[in-house]
Chain A
Amino acid sequence: MAGNVSPFSPHDVASVDDVIAALAAQSYLADEGLATAIFLALRLRRPILLEGEAGVGKTEVAKALATWSGGDFIRLQCYEGIDAAQAVYEWDYSKQLLHLRAAEAAGATEGVAVADLEDALYDERFLVRRPLLQALSASVADSGTPSVLLIDEVDRADDEFEAFLLEILSEYAVTIPEVGEFRAEVPPVVVITSNRTRDVHDALKRRCLYHWVAHPSVEREVEILRVRAPHVPLALARDVALVAAELRDMGLYKPPGVAETLDWAEALVLIGADDLDPEAIEFTVGTLLKYREDQERARARGFGDILSSVLGA
């Protein structure tokens, strides 16, 4: 099944299982909940809002979707103070000024109406397309394959930007006063992520399908490790997932996410540890726990103790 769904026209995806299979072919293992949300986002042509702890693979979803569809992958990283000029479009002012000087030097500006000068200046060739505009116009070009637009960490932007985003996402169109309207012929697949450092506005949430990405179960994490880091031996992958799950229950400041367990498994392979022992953990704990207090808490309990309690030895 996985073979014949790629590349896809997303609205042709027939079932949730198709989504699971197609993402698995991109080395992304989605559980039923996430796959359903993605399936619905594709079929209903709605953006999907993914919230969850850092490092659970929210951003990866968008990348996997893009490789699956073969469409453009366009990423907008949000940050404080981001505005339309950085997110949608800007005019290339230096080119515009140069154009003006050239026109002036050629004597073309004298007696020309301001409106005509403006027309020459606000031409598409002076337009700098930022990610949102790219996403709306890129889909037009290709053969019906939508682009995948990732709006990453939307919680870092401010409310003004959110309101503005809402406008674009409800119409999949943007109007540039000097040029006209850009409307996506095929709406892009939109993935929005948030680390939930603040609440995203309700209006934006209502516009989106919502999924809370939780830490994976041990079995799933073993599968993920096997897929993403195939050179990690199965036994080691299992132990790594068990220890990670145990650490997540210890009330740490920053419980390890999938990204950290992947790093950790890689590190263990690199230092040649075939199975887990307290010493190997001590050497590599920096890839897993990134707060001094967390490391100390784990150490205080004893790596040996953690190991014996999860491995039941």
Chain B
Amino acid sequence: MVTAQRTLDRHLVRFADALRTAGLPVPLASTLEFGRAVAEVGADRRDGVYWAGRATLVHRPEDIPLYDEVFEQQWLGAIGRGRPATVPSPVTLLLDEPGGDDDDERESETPDSDVLSVRFSRVEVLSARDFAECSDDELAELHELMARLRFSGESRRCRRMRPNTRSGRLDLRRTVRAALRTEGEALYRSYLEPGERPRRLVLLLDVSGSMEAYARALIRFVHAATVGRRDVEAFALGTRLTRLTRELSTRDPDAALARAAEAVTDWSGGTRLGDGLRLFNDAWGVRGMARGAVVVVLSDGWDRGDPAVMSEQMQRLSRVAHRIVWVNPLKATPGYAPLAQGMAAALPHVDEFLEGHNLDSLEILAEAITRE
């Protein structure tokens, strides 16, 4: 009996390990919980182990398919069908190591005058430079500048009250407290007024092929926006929708970007912007995330899908969002007109249409997001 229990325990632990290897975060406490759950349900019950694990080890619906697969491999003895998803995606982010092939360029660009003034002017030149024309080194430098961008975002009134000394609703709690000190006479009255909290900021970054040159720079901006603020959500829009909020939530931009790159499986894939927006609206936006939020779409507006879908989805989004800011890196191109079908369809629903091709324009964007 005891040995049977031991064998079972070993199986359970091995299963939890397999889940971890497959990429599902399983804390130790959950493994213990899983063991207790199986003991309660009984391992002899068909599906008992499966559901015990589902209730204790899985905490998000997205993880269910992965769980199912590992379960099948571990418990049903099925031969692994070979999950391609664990293969690291072939994405390398540009700035992580300065590329070898532009060394000459860097040398030719380093003038022999005073270092300090050179750096200064370099920043100035850089911040006006189109991301698409930057060398890897320049991008790396720009990224450092971008990491310093901080903005607080618009605020809105909220239902959480805060104390106020002069006017508003009477704060009985404090008033009674104060009355105790004046022999029961409510001499000092306290008040409450509605507090403020930042509006939620939702960033949708287009990572499709036509945006490639910009997406890698803009995701830095998205990261700068995500760090140090609560209530920011970030998504990558491509052939599908990938939520990046978790991946980008660390303070170390390199680690965050590496993880975001793992999460986005369709860097530079096809462009079906309207469909991507529909996915966002269905799964997150209209259900509550975009409600009263400032939504920033970073995209060139190239959409191979039906423009009617685009228009319909933008309309849905604009009905729930507080403000929609569209950032189009191509807008800076001389003679640009929003001819891309998707862009033309989206424009009527956009509150603010901005450039996003260089650092200067991103500073303007940061300001636009912060503005009341």
Report which A residues bind B (CB closer than 8 A).
15-16, 32-33, 36-37, 39-40, 43-44, 48, 51, 79-83, 85, 90-91, 93-94, 96-97, 100-101, 103-104, 109-110, 114, 117-118, 121, 155-156, 158-160, 195-199, 202, 205-206, 209-212, 251, 253, 293
- Whether the pair B59, A104 counts as a contact (CB closer than 8 A) is no
- Whether the pair A253, B312 counts as a contact (CB closer than 8 A) is no
User: Which B residue's beta carbon lies closest to that of A104?
Assistant: B184
- Whether the pair B176, A44 counts as a contact (CB closer than 8 A) is no
- List of B residues within 8 angstroms of A85 by Cβ: 173
Nearest-Cβ distance from residue B273 to partner chain A, whole angstroms? 17
Query: Which of B37, B54, B64, B176 interacts with A97 by CB under 8 Å?
Result: B176
A206 to B26, CA, bound (A): 10
- List of B residues within 8 angstroms of A158 by Cβ: 160, 197
Task: State how many residues of chain B have any CB contact under 8 Å with chain A.
Answer: 49
Nearest-Cβ distance from residue A84 to partner chain B, whole angstroms? 11
Q: List 21 A-B contacts (CB under 8 A).
A: A15-B42, A32-B51, A36-B51, A37-B51, A40-B55, A40-B56, A44-B33, A48-B55, A81-B158, A82-B159, A93-B176, A97-B186, A104-B184, A121-B176, A156-B288, A196-B61, A196-B287, A197-B289, A206-B27, A209-B56, A253-B316
- Whether the pair B184, A103 counts as a contact (CB closer than 8 A) is yes
- List of B residues within 8 angstroms of A210 by Cβ: 54-56, 58-59
Nearest-Cβ distance from residue A220 to partner chain B, whole angstroms? 16
- Whether the pair A80, B159 counts as a contact (CB closer than 8 A) is yes
A16 to B185, CA, bound (A): 60
A205 to B27, CA, bound (A): 12
User: Which B residue's beta carbon lies closest to that of A161?
Assistant: B160
- List of A residues within 8 angstroms of B179 by Cβ: 97, 100
> What are the interface flags for B18-60 relative to A under an 8 Å C-beta threshold, 1 for contact and 0 otherwise?
0000000001011001001100111001011001101110111
> What are the interface flags for B271-311 relative to A under an 8 Å C-beta threshold, 1 for contact and 0 otherwise?
00000000001101011110100000000000000000000
- Whether the pair A36, B41 counts as a contact (CB closer than 8 A) is yes
B128 beta carbon closer than 8 Å to chain A: no
User: Which A residue's beta carbon lies closest to that of B58?
Assistant: A210
Contact status of A81 and B159, CB under 8 A, knowing A36-B55, A51-B61, A206-B59: yes
- List of B residues within 8 angstroms of A160 by Cβ: 160
User: Which B residue's beta carbon lies closest to that of A208?
Assistant: B59
Report which B residues bind A (CB closer than 8 A).
27, 29-30, 33, 36-37, 40-42, 45, 47-48, 51-52, 54-56, 58-61, 64, 158-161, 172-173, 175-176, 179-181, 183-186, 197, 230, 281-282, 284, 286-289, 291, 312, 316
- Whether the pair A40, B181 counts as a contact (CB closer than 8 A) is no
Nearest-Cβ distance from residue B180 to partner chain A, whole angstroms? 5
Query: Which of A15, A93, A195, A251 interacts with B172 by CB under 8 Å?
Result: A93
- List of A residues within 8 angstroms of B161 by Cβ: 81
- List of A residues within 8 angstroms of B42 by Cβ: 15
Task: Please list the 9 inter-chain residue pairs (A to B) with the smallest Cβ-Cβ separation, ordered nearest first.
Answer: A197-B288, A81-B159, A93-B172, A36-B51, A100-B184, A81-B160, A37-B55, A205-B59, A209-B55
Query: Which of A81, A110, A212, A251 interacts with B64 by CB under 8 Å?
Result: A212
- Whether the pair B30, A16 counts as a contact (CB closer than 8 A) is no
Contact status of A36 and B176, CB under 8 A, knowing A16-B41, A101-B184, A209-B56: no
